Amino acid sequence: MDLTFAIIKPDAVSAGLTGPIIQEIEKSGFTIAALKKLHLTKAQAQGFYHVHRERPFFNDLTDFMSQGPCLVMVLAAQGAIPKWRELMGATNPAEAAEGTLRARFGTNIERNAVHGSDAPETAEFEIGYFFSALEIVNG
């Protein structure tokens, strides 16, 4: 089994969409190996998204991610990273394929309901940012 990192973002949590999103995750063949509900501080959001520090959307992104609770998860499946990215859909919900999480639950490019790692190195950093090895139950 491969691991990837996922977030149900504050927009989806505040809209009461955690249940339907988790149901879709499990229905799609993922095992949830770890899960936490957190309310990130601005500094925690900045640390997590540090790779975007120089991008013009960095402040808006970190404000948004620290505005309310989110769910952080480690997902397990064969080919977890590409499988999760396919289930999420395109970053912009207007461009996401029908039936994907972002098409169903996102409202715009900034409030797109979910996040996922884009590569093994990213997944390793993102998982380690929120979880210790003892918190991941893969099986």
Instruction: Mark whether 115 is an active-site residue.
Output: yes
Comparing C-alpha atoms, which of 125, 137, 119, 116 is closest to residue 71?
116
H or E element in which residue 70 lies: strand 70-77
- Look at residue 5 and give its three-state secondary structure: strand
CA atoms within 13 A on the CB side of 99: 4
The Cα–Cα gap between 9 and 45 comes to 12
The residue from 39, 50, 52, 115 that is catalytic is 115
Tokens 């925690």 sit on residue: 44
Q: Which residues are identified as catalytic?
A: 115
